[in-house]
């Protein structure tokens, strides 16, 4: 177990040492330094609790990717997740919303964190619409699949699998939800929310289309006898999925601190542990061992997407979000263990009929 988390532990120690140095430089007191260090730890725990379902979904996609692209996601993807989404993304929001250049946005985050937080928070409606719609599409696409023959929550999942024969049914359902939520907002925010949500759906379709095109190309090359070792579509999909997950964490982090350095350190630690969990799930074959774990993760993604969409109007504590995700994944894990005890020989066909 330790081998999977060795890198994360070393990274955590480095971040905590940086937090101590930064806290002392900013406050000049032991109490102030310990307070800042505590916030970093809490942010790290929050990020892990919100992103466990992300690790499960990452593992499900990585299992079908070439080893080279797996490593690229776990290395380059880590840089994108930490540097891109935890540092550049909030700065980009401020730069666009306030009409500032990158340098001015960085100076604002360091010198006037209160104003920096206000600008980032003002963009929440658009972020909620885009991120919530994308995550909802990720979750719905898993269950709107006519070829699925393994169901966890049978009475819902079987019906969704049947409805999937109606083309674009999940898109119609999500657009209806976006419209109903937009009715609760004032006209300006409603327009922003609908446009952002539509762009989230378009982004999901675009990523899926790119993946399909690349798969068709690989199939054609394989038919000609070429050795294909590509995973670009999956790599792009996972990084956009990571970005959508990080929206909620970045915005929620401002409830604890408006200091960009503190937020970046805490969320980066959490992101690193999520990567370690992903590696462990892939290499240990956990998804194959626990047949409903993936279902629980995708239900948690739908729940997170719904919470993000509703957060455009209602404030929902991050603790609630984390608990819902943990409860769904925990329940699916327990149900998987129960299934394995009932069918110790792993006879899938008998299990499917019994379920």
Helix axes 232-253, 124-143, angle to 10 degrees: 140
Residue 218: band (very low, low, confident or very high) from pLDDT cuts 50, 70, 90:
low
As a whole number of angstroms, the distance between CA 150 and CA 295 comes to 9
**Over 80: is that where the pLDDT of 48 sits?**
no
Give this prediction's pTM. 0.74
Q: Using one digit for the tens of pLDDT, what is the confidence trace for 125-178?
A: 888 888 889 888 888 888 888 777 788 888 888 888 888 888 888 999 999 999
As a whole number of angstroms, the distance between CA 349 and CA 355 comes to 10
For residue 219, what are the CA distances in angstroms to 187, 207, 227, 238? 48, 18, 10, 21
List, in order, residues 6 or more apart from 39 with CB less than 8 Å away. Answer: 256, 257, 262, 266
DSSP code of residue 146: T
Q: What is the largest CA-CA distance in the chain?
A: 68
For residue 14, what are the CA distances in angstroms to 19, 34, 266? 9, 16, 12
Q: Using one digit for the tens of pLDDT, what is the confidence trace for 288-326?
A: 778 888 888 888 888 888 988 998 888 877 667 777 877
User: 3-class SS at 313?
Assistant: coil
Residue corresponding to tokens 């408006």: 258
């Amino acid at each position: 177990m330790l081998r999977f988390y060795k890198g994360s532990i070393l990274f955590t120690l480095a971040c905590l040492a940086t937090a101590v140095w930064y806290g002392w430089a900013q406050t000049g007191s032991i109490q102030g330094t310990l307070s800042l260090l505590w916030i970093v730890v809490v942010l790290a725990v929050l990020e892990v609790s919100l992103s466990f379902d992300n690790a499960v979904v990452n593992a499900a996609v990585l299992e079908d990717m070439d080893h080279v692209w797996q490593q690229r996601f776990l290395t380059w993807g880590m840089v994108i997740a930490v540097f891109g989404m935890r540092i550049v993304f909030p700065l980009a929001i401020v730069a666009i919303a306030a009409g500032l250049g990158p340098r001015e946005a960085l100076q604002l985050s360091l010198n006037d964190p209160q104003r920096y937080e206000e600008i980032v928070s003002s963009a929440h409606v658009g972020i909620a619409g885009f991120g919530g719609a994308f995550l909802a599409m990720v979750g719905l696409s898993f269950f709107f699949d006519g070829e699925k023959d393994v169901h966890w929550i049978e009475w819902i999942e079987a019906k969704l699998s049947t409805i999937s024969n109606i083309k674009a049914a999940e898109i119609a359902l999500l657009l209806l939800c976006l419209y109903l939520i937009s009715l609760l907002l004032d006209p300006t925010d409603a327009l922003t929310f609908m446009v952002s949500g539509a762009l989230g759906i378009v982004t999901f379709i675009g990523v899926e289309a790119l993946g399909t095109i690349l798969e068709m190309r690989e199939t054609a090359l394989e038919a000609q006898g070429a050795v294909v070792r590509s995973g670009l579509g999956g790599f792009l999909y996972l990084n956009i999925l990571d970005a959508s997950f990080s929206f909620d964490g970045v915005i929620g982090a401002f409830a604890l601190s408006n200091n960009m350095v503190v937020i970046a350190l805490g969320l980066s630690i959490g992101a690193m542990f999520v990567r370690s969990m992903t590696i462990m799930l892939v290499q240990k074959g956990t998804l194959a061992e626990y047949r409903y774990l993936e279902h629980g993760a995708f239900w948690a993604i739908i729940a997170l997407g719904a919470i993000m969409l509703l957060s455009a109007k209602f404030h929902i504590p991050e603790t609630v979000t984390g608990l819902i995700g943990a409860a769904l994944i925990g329940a699916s894990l327990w149900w998987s263990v129960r299934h394995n005890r009932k069918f110790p020989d792993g006879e899938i066909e008998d299990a499917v009929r019994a379920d």
